[in-house]
Structure 1
Amino acid sequence: MTSFGGQTEASAGLAKRLASRGDLTGFLMALSQSIGADSYMLVAVLHDQNKSDVRIVASNWIYDAIQLVGHQAIAAIAQSTHAVPPGVRPRPITTRAAPAVAGTLSGEEVKLLDVLGHGEIFALRLNVGRQRLFMLLSTAEPGELDPAELSRAQMRCCHALSQVPGLLAAAAQQDPLSDRERECLYWVSEGKTTDEVALILGVSSNTVNSYVTHAIQKFAASNRVMAVATAIRSGII
């Protein structure tokens, strides 16, 4: 395996000064580069009574890839039996020419991940106080990541993130909606029709539909009802 000593030192240095979302992104980028990972995603699992919601805290996946794969599949990977805690040897989810992953991903989802450049994915649990966090690290080609290096990166990540619980909480709870999108969803949740919301906000019905559609897409929901439920559960409206 190629040595990435320079990047390891860089990630260690960044970990000492995590003070913003930019610092967090820089740290995760350097950490990923240090072990040769092509992609990373830091995921928070939030619980509300008997339900759970997955929030992407930081990622270098392109937006379209996240939308195509969907939050449900990302949640399945993060909470699968492949997601290992510190001290346990990481084991991959291989998507290159692989069948469905029993209990985790369908054959169509596996094929899509491979096409998008995630031929092999490792899911690592991170012990950060009471927060449930998971790091997904992937490469386009299987066999590129050393499990021993992954374990060391996992420990470095746990240590660094444990120093900034407030930053992580704020990132995980970050409101993805614009003011107008939030207003539209709020009035929809109150039982208002599109025309009624348009009258209240002083905009056209097409504009209201556009705002609501954007909100649905940001929540990776399938319809208005699901988007409203997600926003309420997250405390956004």
Structure 2
Amino acid sequence: MTITETEIAARPLPAVQGRFVGTSSSNARRQMVARLIDHAERGHLAKALTLLTQHVGASHYLLARCDRAKNGGVDFAICSDWPFDLVRRIGRVMADSHAKSNELEKCLTVLQPAFMMLPDEAVLPRGVSRQYCQIAFAVGRVRLSLLLLFPQDVILSRESLREVALLTGYFACAAPEAHVEPDRECDLTERELECVFWIAEGKTSDEIAVILGISRNTINNYITSVMRKTATKTRSEAIAYSVRNNLV
């Protein structure tokens, strides 16, 4: 995955609504883009995240791998400057959210900034709002989230947050420290993938049976196997999972 200085420079400047955080001239923007590209080439994910966090008007970042949060511990955190106790606390929140969300809901939240409140008992850095922002995105088959803390008097722009999430995805691909490779390849068979493809095309089991030249019961067995392997409960969820993971 590559990105050029010209492509980044052509995008509109992220803006922060609320407290004024300064202007950015064309020359300053070119310098920032050059720094981002340099960080990417050197694999400096933390430096790139710090730069992007400051650019959007936030104060602290946490890049997390969502599927690891459900296992407990703090190994879901890929790169972060949040206080350790806060990382551990947010891990439990992410694990609970991951367990309650189905595949379709997870798809619909991609690149959609969500603002949530940290628990009252959570100890925050001085001057930081108890509200935080979470933006989900995918790198290959791996679902990641960028979580941002920000000052109490700052309102973050949703458009800018989406742009920062996209750039974070780029750096997560480029930086070796991100470790975003999936734990294992999806083990769906070719027949199961064919069934998912035709379901996504709107075909019924009877229609798929005619297309593939096998019985309706066999088609239903394949579909049941797909839902079991993908931990989904309905055909729609199985399709959403397959789309999000680039299987169809």
Q: TM-score scaled to structure 2, two decimals?
A: 0.48
1:1-237 correspondence runs (5 A): 1=16, 2-3=21-22, 5=24, 6=28, 9-10=31-32, 13-18=35-40, 23-46=44-67, 52=71, 55-67=76-88, 69=89, 71-76=91-96, 84-86=109-111, 88=112, 90-93=113-116, 95=117, 110-113=119-122, 115=124, 117-141=128-152, 143-164=154-175, 166-169=176-179
Q: Which ranges in structure 2 are unaligned for 5 or more consecutive residues?
A: 1-15, 184-248
Choose 1 or 2 for highest CA Rg.
2
Offset, 1:31? 0.5
Answer 1 or 2: higher relative contact order, Cα 8 Å, separation at least 6: 2
Distance 1:40 1:17, change over 3 A: closer
Asked if the contact 1:119/1:142 (under 8 Å) is kept, the reply is no
How far apart, CA to CA, are the structure 2 residues paired with 1:160 and 1:27?
8
Return 114-123 or 56-65, whichever deviates more.
Answer: 114-123
SS in 1 for 2:82: coil
Amino acid at match of 1:167: E
How far apart, CA to CA, are the structure 2 residues paired with 1:55 and 1:158?
16
SS in 2 for 1:137: strand
Distance 1:32 1:77, change over 3 A: farther
SS in 2 for 1:120: strand
Amino acid at match of 1:57: I
Offset, 1:115? 4.7
How far apart, CA to CA, are the structure 1 residues paired with 2:97 and 2:171?
23
| Identical counterparts, % of pairs | 17
Asked if the contact 1:7/1:30 (under 8 Å) is kept, the reply is no
How far apart, CA to CA, are the structure 2 residues paired with 1:20 and 1:172?
23
Return 28-37 or 134-143, whichever deviates more.
Answer: 134-143
Matched residue pairs, number?
Answer: 152
How far apart, CA to CA, are the structure 1 residues paired with 2:86 and 2:34?
29
Asked if the contact 2:134/2:146 (under 8 Å) is kept, the reply is yes
Offset, 1:138? 1.8
Distance 1:172 1:120, change over 3 A: farther
